[in-house]
Amino acid sequence: MFCSRKKSLEVERIVKANDREYNEKFLYKDNRIHTSKYSILTFLPINLFEQFQRVANAYFLFLLILQLIPEISSLTWFTTIVPLVLVVTMTAVKDATDDYFRHKSDNQVNNRQSEVLIDSNQDQSSAPYMKVLKKLQNEKWMNVKVGDIIKLENNQFVAADLLLLSSSEPHGLCYIETAELDGETNLKVRHALSVTSELGADISRLAKFDGIVVCEAPNNKLDKFTGVLSWNGSKHSLNNEKIILRGCVLRNTSWCFGMVIFAGPDTKLMQNSGKTKFKRTSIDRLMNTLVLWIFGFLICLGTILAIGNSIWENQVGDQFRTFLFSNEREKNSVFSGFLTFWSYIIILNTVVPISLYVSVEVIRLGHSYFINWDRKMYYSRKATPAEARTTTLNEELGQIEYVFSDKTGTLTQNIMTFKKCSINGRIYGEVCDDWGQKTDMTKKKETMGFSVSPQADRTFQFFDHHLMESIELGDPKVHEFLRLLALCHTVMSEENSAGELIYQVQSPDEGALVTAAKNLGFIFKSRTPETITIEELGTLVTYQLLAFLDFNNFRKRMSVIVRNPEGQIKLYSKGADTILFERLHPSNEDLLTLTSDHLSEFAGEGLRTLAIAYRDLDDKYFREWHKMLEDANTTTDERDERIAGLYEEIERDLMLLGATAVEDKLQDGVIETVTSLSLANIKIWVLTGDKQETAINIGYACNMLTDDMNDVFIIAGNTATEVREELRKAKENLFGRNRSFSNGHVVFEKKQSLELDSVVEETVTGDYALIINGHSLAYALESDVKNDLLELACMCKTVVCCRVTPLQKAQVVELVKKYRNAVTLAIGDGANDVSMIKSAHIGVGISGQEGLQAVLASDYSFAQFRYLQRLLLVHGRWSYVRMCKFLCYFFYKNFAFTLVHFWFGFFCGFSAQTVYDQWFITLFNIVYTSLPVLAMGIFDQDVSDQNSMDYPQLYKPGQLNLLFNKSEFFICMAHGVYTSLALFFIPYGAFHNMAGEDGRHTADYQSFAVTTATSLVIVVSVQIALDTSYWTVINHVFIWGSIATYFSILFTMHSNDIFGIFPNQFPFVGNARHSLTQKCIWLVILLTTVASVMPVVAFRFLKVDLFPTLSDQIRQWQKAQKKARPLRTRKPQTRRSSSRRSGYAFAHQEGYGELITSGKNMRAKNPPPMSGLEKTLYNSTSWIENLCKKTTDTVSSFSQDKTVKL
């Protein structure tokens, strides 16, 4: 506590490397993380304190205190304390288990190992003048301290926020994957300061490193870092490029060293994760409101009875009391009323049943276990079962209106596969079946591999043998196409020990393309800064890389200029169709039309397309151009513009080759899930950090966007005014169209809500989609246009937000949550989704991936997006239905139980005399009636899981909150009041003049108590029997068992033996035996039961008979044909065949071209970078070398060749 207070004042951080003593002064946090709440010692006090902060528990404590006042006490102490202790104990046990698991997961993370440079011998640290003996030692993560130097190895998680010192790669480069942090899967480069990168892996030098870093205080900005390193008397400024953050994974770098700057809770990852908000379901909130209402109601009842008491005392009681207690002095009737008020508060407290909260928790826990146990949500490939990590939100799963989904890793597998291509006007990759119809590729077809290619990937799936034929026939266009794929990219190759070629790809798209080329016989083998070596159908060919025209988001294309062994210079270009088509040579017109048709087709299938083109360059022209480029490179002013201009200049008059279509592979079942969820009226918004094109493609691929949509609004403005204007236009468009189409086709349901500032839901017929990017979103989330955005977005069927930051994801969720009052669910897999997962009502994490952040922050986790369907439509719906039934019954039961006292009050002088035995009051809620309703709450199924999935419309009542709301509550209450009336007045009438069969049995209080109590238990059991729609063995056992338990406990407590032991506690001795052998008592019980239940049955029957809900219909139908299983075959999703939009998408980042040409990312020992033209000789030798190698053709020798491998 003290420490954290001090920390909050931290304005800047000073860290000295390798000096723990120095750093200890600042009390920085170490690398241990805590998410647990209690320790063994603090558990009891803290937990009890927390529990009694809850209103309900505090209330019962208050009641307990009231009961200690003898003047007020109308119930014995045990009636309150027994349930209270039970409740508190159960909650404590649950909290303890929860915390235990948190401890466990903390420990798991804290005990991860990393190599830390620490003193090999503790004594040595005290003698700084001696030779510092520091060694790399394995240390647990939690023991890592600020200032330590850590060694990381490839594919390891980074333990803390580090300043990169040196790495295995040249220039102190290292690659990291930041998927955990921001969800981007492409690799990022970090490079160390040149002064520190010289340290290399030299332990002794690293150990002597004593730089002092002065930097910003811990914060949550992932992309900013400012600091200064002072070392050896000079200062070096530090930025984000030098920092590796906790949660990243080191890739493609065999080792690196870093110095810990922020550790544990101070790391940016942890700072970003924020405090876990305590989530509550809407039912919870409703329940709290209702409990407050019931309190109010209770106070009303108490007041009525207190007034009654005052009047009674005044009119009747006075004389009667004098008669009874003659020696008592006159009492004030108002004071008596006041005391009676409290007495009745105690008696009637059971309308707010303490067991309610516990029962709700138990039911939710049961539902959570069912989620954990569901084999249909178990992903066998990763051995990941679904997991309900929060056990308190289940019923809200049945009320979801908005789903916010991440894209990468959630909707898609992040696997790119080369699906189709169009080469020279011919489409490949489409399989025609025997009827000549196009079908999607199926697994039946034999996978095509090229015998020529020993490197062919066995998992490569491309099935068109026409393409194979064309390749074999030597179609020059086809060859050129594949050559381009093998040449124009930024992939690095490497051979592993087994001699297999492994591609290190910066973007998965390129990986797919290069691998496709490889499998089709054009194998990219290796590259140097100046050459690219490929194997063309078994022949090694080395191309000279003359220029690399890098990709960026404005150019949307990438080109290489190479000289082939024949000396021809060619420019190979791939990029967005829209861009490339503008720069084609006029002669391409016919091919262009054809290819764009193909591209439309690809786009319609949601494939990511790139257009492919080349240009033959004249040697002289190229030389001139290259010279200009070099000039441009050396100038400082307007360098970028000039280079861009030069690129523009050379990339024209291109000859179109064709186009590629890469599938961003969707996870299994995504389309079905999306369709099913939208049938269930759940709106799905895609929030992704990815590019607009990619996001749109996925939208199309999973049928969220279709070409049948009336309009797709794209908001991509870069200023506030632009965005406002675009939003306004989109809205006008939407409304305008609706107005003009109002000839029955499109109608507003609510005309009055046309005012722009209202956020009332309007129903617009026709499908619209909104696509908005991160920049625009930032403006759109500003207050004045927020409503416009929301209004527009909520009227669209699909909303896609692209290029959004984690924070924006959360903001969007918050926006919908706040202004829509809708229940939201966020689903994602990466650390960038954490904020969204946390702010949504329900967060779902995709588990089974490497990273855990999303899962750790989530409430539910499972391995595949498609399980969402089952989670919501089956588990969520069931939970909701069960919970609602449970609550209705529970409130009913307690009203029926308690209000009998109220009626009795009028006949006992408002003296707060209870109707029932004290023991009955104690046990009624916790023993006699708890299990049947729990069984219903846990096991009930109105319709089967299959039907829940088949009829997504069944989900709608949950969204509209129809099954338990305030009016339902009043119905339950009325039902309870009615039952209590029957329970009191029928025995009242019967007991008025009652005598037993032996004449002796008269209408005494105890018999009355037993009769009412027995009637109550039976009525309530019959009611639960009516409510239970799914009678499993457990329900039978609990319902019959409860009645049996009631009678056995009744007889036990009324037995002679127990009276003999505690005569004062069990005064009902012999009562059960006497009363329950009387026929008239049973006649009363029977009459009471029928009178209480009959109206309910009639009412329910009428409801089902005249206004059956879908669920009722399915139940009847289910019963009618239990045998015939297949309900109806779902129509397979029909895909549109064509689209008028560009399917271009390319996950690529600028800057890799430069890395390649500079050779920075190649292994050391390569010759210093030189201009390609001058080193022709060198390269040609290398090419000849390779050619020679080819004749011997041994892969192993190839791999050992350092010069080639580089």
Partner 1 sequence: MAMNYNAKDEVDGGPPCPPGGTAKTRRPDNTAFKQQRLPAWQPILTAGTVLPTFFIIGLIFIPIGIGIFVTSNNIREIEGNVFMYYGLSNFYQNHRRYVKSRDDGQLNGDPSALLNPSKECEPYRRNEDKPIAPCGAIANSMFNDTLELFQVGNASDLMPITLKKKGIAWWTDKNVKFRNPPGTDPLEERFKGTTKPVNWVKPVYMLDSDEDNNGFINEDFIVWMRTAALPTFRKLYRLIERKNDLHPTLPAGRYYLNITYNYPVHSFDGRKRMILSTISWMGGKNPFLGIAYITIGSISFLLGVVLLVINHKYRNSSNTADITI
Cβ closest to partner 1, residue 187 vs residue 834: 187
Task: State phi, psi for 526 to the nearest 5 degrees.
Answer: -165, 165
Closest listed residue to residue 222, CA positions, set 196, 185, 248: 248
Cβ closest to partner 1, residue 587 vs residue 946: 946
CA–CA gap between residue 600 and residue 607 (Å, rounded): 10
**How many angstroms separate the Cα of 989 from the Cα of each of 975, 981, 1003?**
21, 12, 11
Written in H, E and C, the secondary structure of 719-739 is CHHHHHHHHHHHHHHHHHHHH
Q: How far is the CB of 864 from partner 1 (least distance, A)?
A: 14
CA–CA gap between residue 622 and residue 650 (Å, rounded): 8
Q: How far is the CB of 337 from partner 1 (least distance, A)?
A: 14
Q: How far is the CB of 1078 from partner 1 (least distance, A)?
A: 7
DSSP reduced 3-state for 146: coil
Q: Up-side HSE of residue 771: CA atoms within 13 Å toward CB?
A: 20
Radius of gyration of the chain from Cα atoms?
38
Active-site amino acid positions: 406
Q: Which residues of 656-693 are buried (b: 16+ CB within 10 A; e: fewer)?
A: bbbbbbbbbbbbeebbbbbbbbbebebbbbbbbbbbbb
Q: How far is the CB of 186 from partner 1 (least distance, A)?
A: 9
Residue 889 tokens, joined: 């019954």
Which secondary-structure segment (H or E) carries 431? strand 431-432
Q: How far is the CB of 8 from partner 1 (least distance, A)?
A: 39
Task: Could you list the beta-strand ranges (E) of 703-853.
Answer: 711-715, 768-773, 798-802, 824-828, 842-846
Cβ closest to partner 1, residue 178 vs residue 808: 178
Strand pairing class (255-262; 557-563): unpaired
Contact of 954 with 399, CB cutoff 8 Å = no
Q: How far is the CB of 249 from partner 1 (least distance, A)?
A: 10
Cβ closest to partner 1, residue 333 vs residue 911: 911
- Which residue type occupies 413? Q
* Interacting residues of 882 by C-beta distance below 8 A, sequence separation 6+: 363, 367, 395, 936, 937, 938, 940
**How many angstroms separate the Cα of 702 from the Cα of each of 120, 138, 606, 672?**
57, 47, 8, 8
CA–CA gap between residue 978 and residue 971 (Å, rounded): 10
Strand pairing class (824-828; 842-846): parallel
Contact of 879 with 398, CB cutoff 8 Å = yes
Q: How far is the CB of 1099 from partner 1 (least distance, A)?
A: 10
Any bridge partners for residue 575, and if so which?
557, 611
First to last CA, the chain: 54
Q: How far is the CB of 484 from partner 1 (least distance, A)?
A: 20
Q: How far is the CB of 1152 from partner 1 (least distance, A)?
A: 14
Q: How far is the CB of 997 from partner 1 (least distance, A)?
A: 5
- Which residue type occupies 1065? Q
CA–CA gap between residue 1082 and residue 121 (Å, rounded): 87
CB atoms within 10 A of CB 965: 15
DSSP reduced 3-state for 172: helix
Cβ closest to partner 1, residue 251 vs residue 1160: 251
